[in-house]
Chain A
Amino acid sequence: MTCDELLRQLAAYDDGVLPDAVCEEIQRHLGGCSACQELRADLEALARICRGCAPPHLPEELRQRLAERLGEPRR
């Protein structure tokens, strides 16, 4: 497996939807390719940055306006 072939399948690999034989090829390539290891480490770091971002809040005046239009849900 080449780096580009691994690249094309990486997201599917992470989703766990590839056949076992392809997963083994990917693992073998990752084990011996420092460039792909670095890429993978960067993508994992990117995910960490993203998870560290506080999600925005729906502005309160819009929330109230919508709630009034919809009516409060029964509790």
Chain B
Amino acid sequence: MSPAPDGAARREALSRALVEEGDRLYALALRTTRDPDLAKDAVQEAFASALEKAEGFRGEARVGTWLYRIVFNKSIDLLRRRRRDEPLPDEDPDRMTPEDARLAHGPSWSRPPDAVLLGAETRRALDRALGHLTPLQRAVFELKEAEGRSTEEVAEILDLTPGAVRVHLHRARLRLRDRLSGYFRGAEAAPSADEAKP
């Protein structure tokens, strides 16, 4: 492990991370919290925390991963603070559940045409469906599916094992497929005018 950088080097590394990764850090916070105000607070608190602590920061090459983990943890802390009387769901990543198997055997989308699949209304339906996942499932989905990160990298950011990342990702995908199933059955029956255009 290389020594922790001094304050000036850390400040510069964080400034570069803000320029190069600010949008993606915000995307993780927004996906996790589903609240723009909480997401902004999470990013702001993460940078403040990163400025104060050298612990965990092992050089510029690692600042991105380290910052993502802080942003995720801040997002969860803020959600917990807001939902004091409503604990976040406990998730067991060690095994597939009967619910996972049930969802896997649910109705298929029947291959909707691209005009429907890639339309704006489908993106809105996906956003609504994401509201039915847990914050952790949303974070895994964002990092893996939207950003295309490796399982190992997602595991490092979220402090999980690679196996747990795969289980959470699979659950997220199955639940989204299930939620969007009804949407596609309706959308196929009556695509909106703008989505039917090539």
Contacts and interface: CB of A to CB of B under 8 A. Distances in A.
Interface residues of B, number: 51
Interface of B: 11-12, 14-16, 18-19, 22-27, 30, 36, 40, 43-44, 47-48, 51, 96, 100-101, 104-105, 108-112, 117-118, 122-123, 126, 141, 145-146, 150-151, 162-163, 166-167, 169-170, 173, 176-177, 180
Interface residues of A, number: 40
B96 A7 contact: yes
Interface string A29-64: 000000100110111011111111101111100110
A73 interface: yes
B118 to A, nearest CB: 5
B25 A42 contact: no
Contacts of A65: 44
A52 to B, nearest CB: 5
Contact of A62 (B11, B27, B43, B105): B43
A70 B18 contact: yes
A74 B109 CA distance: 50
Chain A at the B interface: SS class: helix
Q: Which of A62, A67, A72 has the most CB of B within 10 A?
A: A62
Interface string A13-27: 001010000000000
Contact of B108 (A38, A58, A73): A38
Contacts of B117: 45, 48-49
A69 B47 contact: yes
A67 B43 CA distance: 12
Given A12-B166, A70-B15, A49 B47 contact: no
Contacts of A74: 12
Given A15-B166, A65-B44, A73 B111 contact: no
Nearest to A9: B166
Contacts of B180: 46
Given A45-B117, A49-B117, A7 B47 contact: no
